[in-house]
């Protein structure tokens, strides 16, 4: 099956991206994790994006903070879908990274999730891959059903514990 690439601008992004790795593991989606920077290692970053499809990737998740150009730089060098994750790594609480990631020019899309939205990035990547993978679609459906069941259970417990009727 196609792999997901999780690219980060720095190892300081690793902790915030743990949720993406956890979600992909839960869904049994293979993934690689790399540190590549649009600014510090621009040639390696663009080479990765150019070769990603031939290397078996189906989606690229790109996480970066501050002047976050990584997702856009990936998108500029591949036809694969790119999901951007703005990192809350600066004194501006990630608003800088959010705007840098989401405000792509027309014709060059990056699907941007919330600041530090690593889990949703992984789920979106899985949904994209599930379009052509029925087994993954079924695993994703089970993941959603389990999530729903957890909320129903919490509702029951909280209603019992806190309601005063």
The residues that touch ligand RP5, with contacts defined as CB under 6 A, are 9-10, 12-13, 37, 64-66, 87, 89
Shorter beta-carbon distance to ligand RP5: residue 12 or 138 = 12
Q: What would the two tokens of residue 118 be? A: 């690593």
Q: What is the nearest approach in angstroms of ligand RP5 to the Cβ of residue 15?
A: 11
Chain Cα centroid distance, residue 123: 7
Instruction: Name which of 45 and 130 has its Cβ closer to ligand RP5.
Output: 45
Tell the smallest beta-carbon distance from residue 70 to ligand RP5 (Å). Answer: 7
> Closest Cα to residue 116, out of 3, 26, 20?
20
Q: Which is nearer to ligand RP5, 17 or 122 (CB)?
A: 17
Nearer to ligand RP5, 8 or 125 (CB): 8
Q: What is the maximal distance between C-alpha atoms in the chain?
A: 65
CB of 89 to ligand RP5, least distance (A): 4
Min dist. Cβ of residue 39 to ligand RP5 (A): 6
Whose Cβ is closer to ligand RP5: residue 13's or residue 29's? 13
Taking the complex as a whole, the smallest distance from the CB of residue 156 to ligand RP5 amounts, in Å, to 40
């Amino acid at each position: 099956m196609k792999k997901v690439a999780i690219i980060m601008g720095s190892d300081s992004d690793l902790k915030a991206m743990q949720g993406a790795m956890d979600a992909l593991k839960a869904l049994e989606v293979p993934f690689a994790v790399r540190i590549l920077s649009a600014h510090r290692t621009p040639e390696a970053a663009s080479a990765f994006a150019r070769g990603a499809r031939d290397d078996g990737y189906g989606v690229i998740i790109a996480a970066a903070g501050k002047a976050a150009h990584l997702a856009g730089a990936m998108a500029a060098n591949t036809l694969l879908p790119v999901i951007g994750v703005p990192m809350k790594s600066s004194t501006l609480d990630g608003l800088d990274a959010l705007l840098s990631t989401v405000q792509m020019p027309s014709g060059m899309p990056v699907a941007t999730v919330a600041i530090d939205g690593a889990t949703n990035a992984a789920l979106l990547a899985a949904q994209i891959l599930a379009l052509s993978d029925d087994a993954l679609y079924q695993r994703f459906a089970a993941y959603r059903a389990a999530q729903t069941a957890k909320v129903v259970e919490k509702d029951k417990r909280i209603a019992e514990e806190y309601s005063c009727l």
